[in-house]
Structure 1
Amino acid sequence: MADYIHEMRALVGHRPMILTTAAGALLDDQNRLLLQERADTGDWSFPGGYMEFGASFKETCKREYLEDAGIEVEPIKLLDLFDKDFYTYPNGDQTQLITALYLVRQTGGKPLDHVTNETTQVKYFDLNHLPKLFNEQSKKMAQAVIEEVNSWQAD
């Protein structure tokens, strides 16, 4: 979590905050989706995270993807903007998450092969057999990826 978020939380405690985030959807050559197993909840989610003050959505996506998954990515298409989702973290922090989800392509790095403070593991999943996702927003994001892939197959 960014220092900015820690500073804001020190001021407001667990009260509701609107937070901007960015995440990436990376597909392999079999159109399987790379997800991260979260260290805080054990659920799976898209690699991504909070925007730091002064950063753009694309910069945030690239930085967070590298931190969460070990992979350098380039955002190639904004799939959707999710702006009406609420979540209370296990520590009690209440949020409205505004998330830009990008389709990304790998430009370097390799999937994490060790546990970090945010990620237990990363793994590719078939879009028809996704694991338990982190929250409702993650489910909506997965649906956006499925719709994108289905549009390719319709062309």
Structure 2
Amino acid sequence: MVENQNYIRFIREKVGNDLIFLNFSGGIIYNEKNEVLLQKRGDRNAWGFPGGAMELGESAEETAIREIFEETGLTVNVEHLIGIYTKYFEKYPNGGEAQTISFFFQCKPVSGELIADGTESLEVRYFSVEDFPPLFNKQHEDALKDWIANKLGNFR
């Protein structure tokens, strides 16, 4: 088993930019005003939910908690699964291609200071659902629609 190594880099060293499966996990984080936290991503210069790639040995929940902390400075409680989104394909700026499997959880912040790291997160801030900027991919859009409709346990 590969430990303490970036899993995507490990796989890409073996298969190059060929189409692969990638597993991601993230959170829809809301505050007391029912505003939702978004991150302006450094890799795409576009808005999305905090989250990232699962590493070997992690659960989807552990990945969401770790990635949210790394990208926002917040520690969260995972309240429940919004859905698992599996029918999406991405072509990355570096030429890599993947069918993504994304887990989205509803999360509540419990501690920490909201801060963008300047690399993965260029900006982090709360938005009302009515004032959302465009999201960077379809699975984030679908997770948001499901969350707004209070639909839980989705899979697509």
Q: Name the TM-score, length of structure 2 as normaliser.
A: 0.89
Unpaired runs of at least 5, structure 1? none
Once the two structures are TM-superposed, the CA of residue 14 in structure 1 deviates from its matched residue by 0.9
Query: Match for 1:74 among 74, 77, 80?
Result: 77
Do the aligned partners of 2:31 and 2:108 also contact (CA within 8 Å) in 1?
no
The equivalent residue for 2:142 is: 140
Does residue 52 of structure 2 align to residue 49 of structure 1? yes
Is 1:13 aligned to 2:13, yes or no?
no
Q: Which aligned runs of 4 or more in structure 1 are off by greater than 4 angstroms?
A: none
1:89 and 2:89 are equivalent in the alignment: no
Q: 2 CA distance for matches of 1:145 and 1:42?
A: 24
Residue 149 of structure 2 aligns to a residue in which SS? helix
Which of the pair is proportionally richer in helix?
Answer: 1
When the two chains are superposed, the root-mean-square deviation of aligned CA atoms in Å is 1.6
1:146 CA displacement:
1.2
Structure 2 residue runs without a partner (length 5+): none
Length-normalised TM-score, structure 1 = 0.90
Q: Distance in 2 between matches of 1:119 and 1:113?
A: 5
Paired residue total: 148
Query: Residues 53 and 114 of structure 1: is their aligned pair in 2 closer, same or farther, counting only changes over 3 Å?
Result: closer
Map of 2:105 onto structure 1? 102
- Taking the aligned partners of 1:93 and 1:121, their CA distance within structure 2 comes to 25
Give the match for residue 38 of structure 1.
41
% identity of equivalent residues: 33
The DSSP-based 3-state class of the residue aligned with 1:31 is coil
Q: Deviations over 1:76-128 (max 9, x none)?
A: 1101111111111111111111111100111211211551x211010111112
Letter matched to residue 75 of structure 1: V
Q: Give the drift of 1:28.
A: 1.1
3-state DSSP of counterpart to 1:65:
helix
Q: Secondary structure at the match of 1:91?
A: coil
Mapping of residues 119-134 of structure 1, within 5 Å: 119-134=121-136
**Letter paired with 2:52:** G
AA aligned to 2:63 is T
Task: Give the structure 2 partner of residue 65 of structure 1.
Answer: 68
Once residues 24 and 150 of structure 2 are traced to their aligned partners in structure 1, the CA distance between those partners, rounded to angstroms, is 21
* Distance (whole Å) between structure 2 residues aligned to residue 68 and residue 50 of structure 1: 12
Q: Report the CA distance between 1:58 and its aligned residue.
A: 0.6
